[in-house]
Structure 1
């Protein structure tokens, strides 16, 4: 899952990078060019129970995604809006 991802949402597209660097009990992440306020604050991620979780500052879950190492799909936690990540 580590690497650069292109994000597609109903509000447009942006980029998210998932790092293998630890950040407490999670891994570091960063977002760029995201118009969605929640996505723009993504700073950590985790993989558990077959799902990728994206977190924002403060520890709130931004999104939950399922899929493969080349394509993930899921929803934004607050709005329930769909999003997809591709390599």
Structure 2
């Protein structure tokens, strides 16, 4: 499928479905750093900076998941709002 075909399919989605897809994408973007930081913590378990970064990343992921479950995928997470309106 080409990018043009994909854009056409996404443009035809109802706003609630598009918002759901955006929430899933945001969750995946936020989940990657949590896993990477967890791996780093296993290598350096006494590093307080890594603990703080992991805690913040995990909190952002929990916030994104809670917002998606509540039907508010446009809630700002980690300073990055997820746009759900078709105009953007």
Larger Rg: 2
Q: Does the TM-score normalized on the shorter chain lie above 0.5? A: no
Kindly indicate which of the two structures has a greater share of residues assigned to helix.
2
| TM value normalised by structure 2 | 0.24
Larger RCO, structure (CA 8 Å, separation 6 or more) = 2
